[in-house]
Structures are given as structure tokens and as C-alpha cells.
Structure 1
């Protein structure tokens, strides 16, 4: 089995040994005749000259396996006719759970209220988690994991997705009930994918539905947020704070108003990362399935975009 490593060169030293350990029968290469490869492992940033990858020459490839959870950068590539699978990695999910629970707890407990200035503020007592409503937008693998973790801490958790697909132990609203979900979101966490239906979803109208003082945590996709509307909601005091890990332009330009706004915390797209040590077994399983003609895991629905 031969696979082409269509990823930035900086990733090779981590992925090559991980894949050799997880899939000893795999011959992983960074160059060669495209027609001689059974699979393509893809990560954004390839080709490194900034051009779009041409998948057409890989006529023997039975699978294109994304090494990232998001596939929005290639799902619309007209040359990509091979089956495309997104990454669902236990390590990535755990990283996202830790990021979201950490920032949700910080917001819930009001940690930033306790300035280290010698003033004794013991009149500020945070509520218990059971008194706080959290809404998770997007209840796929990552969103469901985050929702279950927060529910395990005692928060009143509601999920929302376009399909309304059930998540065990979590109340999930679907489709047309987005406004109802937003209306109860004292803490709103967005893990929605980047699709035509989600772009600009959080605009002036939808942000106005949040309870006054709500906190937004967005480690999903930057395209979800209308940036000027978010800043206006913060300036008006309707929104209490925004923790943003993803942006329409990355890296976030130094002059962008998010950096200096007191109501915004910027993190540099670090919420969750694919870790070769855990993801290699996922890739190996899908490569073996492709070679055996079996059903692939996490196959992307091109019409939905994820």
C-alpha cells in the first residue's frame, strides 16, 4: 500500500514515524508518480506555494484522508473526485474538550473579576454549574464530546445542530429552533463547520437573542461570526465577553480591533490540534478499509460540506 503525503514538509518528521508504527505495511512518500499511489494524506498548506492541489493525477487513489477535522479548504476542489474522509481523532477531541471546559469555567466562575489589587471582593460569589445554561452549536464528534464533559460538571447543557441528531444525555434542538437555543445561552460555544449555511450565522440579530452578558466561546470556525456585529454587541454591553480561537483571516492581523478590545480574548488557533500519536491509528484503519473495499469512516458528504 502506497500513500502520498500531501502536507507541509514541517509535518513529515511527526507523521512519518507515527504512520510507520500504526501501519507497517504502508509505504508513505512525499514524491513519485501520482498514478502509483493508493491513497493521499492531505493537510492544509499543501502545496506550499499557495496554489490549490490538483488531485486529478492520482487516478489510483481510493481515499483522500484529511489530517485536519475541517475539510472546507478542499471539499470544493473540482479535481477532488476520490472519496474524502475527515479526521476524527481522540487526541483532537480531548484537546477541544479541555479548551472549551477551561474557558467555560473561567467565564462561569468570573475569574477575571478578581483583580490582584488589594481589594477584598468576597461579595462576588459565583453560582453553581447547575444554575448556568450552556449551549453548544454543532453536535458532531467534537461538539458532543464537549457537551457531555460540561454536563458532567453539572451545567445545564443544550446542543443545537441543523439536523437535530440526538446526543445521548444531552437535549438537542434542531434546525428552526436555533433562536430558542440562543435565547438560553448564558455561555455559547460554537463548534459548527464552515458551510454556506453557517457563514455569518452569528450576526446582529442572532447575537441580540443571547441573554444579556452572555459569553461567546468560538473555537470552531471564524466565518461563523460577523466581526463588526460582534464588536457592536460587546460595546453595547449586550455581550459580556468573547473568547475567539478562529478568525476569517489567520494569523489575525496585529492591527485588528479584536487584539485591543477589553471584551475579547484572542487565542491563536490552538484549541485543538491533530496529534499524530493518536490520529495515526485512525488513518491506518481507514487506509486498510479503502484497500479492502470496506466502508470508510468519517466519509465527507460533499453536498453538506462536512
Structure 2
């Protein structure tokens, strides 16, 4: 285990909100625990998936890690710094991409937004040029540099935001849905870029996403938060095992046939004309199942569907087995 870069010990965040009580017009004040006693450590250079259903407390945790919000209790440190007390000092060491909330200037071309980022962080000219050229090449931003941010699509703006977050060589990068709105090619490009940033520069990455493929291709470690509590911390295989999640093989046959049977490790869960759906454990390999189906049935096409993270978490919580696991 290398040096811990991010440390949380019993961190809480409590909000007071007003809610309407029954049919009364009067609103009553109540307490909401967005984050409820979370503890974990992330070593320097690790890439971690931080996932959970909507409203679980993911964004609140990230906002405390960046210093935007102050914890209601517990201890939190990033690179030995208390984010809420030394936010400006920490800002030079972190990069943040908050989903659909851009950090770019809406009316300026992408190139001018990057020039402003350079001035804000005081990035030396040579370092800025090198980082910009690398980001532009790997994220395919060359044709977009002269385009005002407001005219970019969501996927284009997301790539632009990722580049902006990395121009000052941050030691840690917080990403909220970094592949949202991207096509298949762009998703692959962003994932490859993040792997390079992590492996070549040792950048610590905390990733929140609903795209399980992002987690599978980028993260060895996954943390699951639900109702403000950390309910799992370990490898992806362990998450699938605890949640009893399943992948689905969609099989298109040449003609309508009875449900596919006799394929070890898989079961037919749906039939619609010549199309059939086979479910099998997410931790298992699809290769022997595909081979068995291809040997026995007249195929037209095959496709593989990954389980939604929400489904994995729901099964895990319903099973009553959701709990913290030791990190391998």
C-alpha cells in the first residue's frame, strides 16, 4: 500500500431542510444526513470508482473533498490538507469535472477558456503548451478550439472540461459522469486518456459514473455509497458476487425457435420472435456461453448487455449482504 493521498474518518454532512407537513401549508424543519460517518483512504496514484444510486451522497462527498462544502463531523484530508480550511491552496493540486456543470466560459471559444485557465493557475508557458497539445490530440479537440462553449454538444463540452481540469497537472482528479453524452468512439478515447494520465503521471482519480463499463475498464477498486453510508469497498468482482448481478446475452436467430436450453451457466429469461435473452452471472466469462449457442443454434447476431449499476446495488442491498469489504 502506497502513501494515502485522500483520507476520510467518520465524515458526516448534515443539512437542515424545510418540508411540507401533510396537508398543512406550514413547512417543518427537518435534518437530512447526506453523508453518514464515511471512512476510507485512497493511496496516491490509485483510480477508484465511487458509485451509488441517485441521492446516495456521492456529489456531497466530492464537494467536501474539494472544499466546496464543510463536513458536519469527522476528519477529512487531501494531501494532508483540510479542504474546507485551505481551499485555495488545495485548488492548485486538484482537478474537477462536475457532470453537466461546465467550468468553461460559456461565450468564449474553447481556446480562450484554456488561456484563462492558464492565467488563473499561473501555468508556465512551456508547460501549458505541452499539456494543451497533449489534451487536444488525445481528446480530439483540434476542430473545436475556435468554437464558443455554448455551441458545443454535451459530449464535446465534456471532453473540453476534462482537458481544462488537467492543464495545471493536478495530483488528484475528481470526475462526475465523464463519459455522459459521448458516442462509443469518444468514450473509448476518454477512457484511454484517463488511463494514460493515471499510469504515466500518477494522477489519483476518483470517478463517479452510472456507466459500468467506465468502472470495469478503468478501476480496480470500487466503493458503493447508499443513503450516505459506505456499504462496499473492494474489487469489482466482489461487487458482482455480493449483488448477484447478471449480464445478458441477446441472441438473434434465423427463425423463431423454442427457448434456448442446455447452455451451462445461462438461462433464457425472455423470448420475442427470433430474438432471445440469456442471463448469466456478471463475474463469469461470456465466451463459453457464446460458443455453446453458436454451436447449437442458427445465429444472425449476438450482443452483450452489462448490468446497470443501479440494479447491482439494488440486489446487493436487498440481499442484506451489503457491507464493507477489505481492499485486496
Report the TM-score, using the length of structure 1 for normalisation: 0.29
TM-score (norm: length of structure 2): 0.28
Determine which structure has the larger strand proportion and give its number.
2
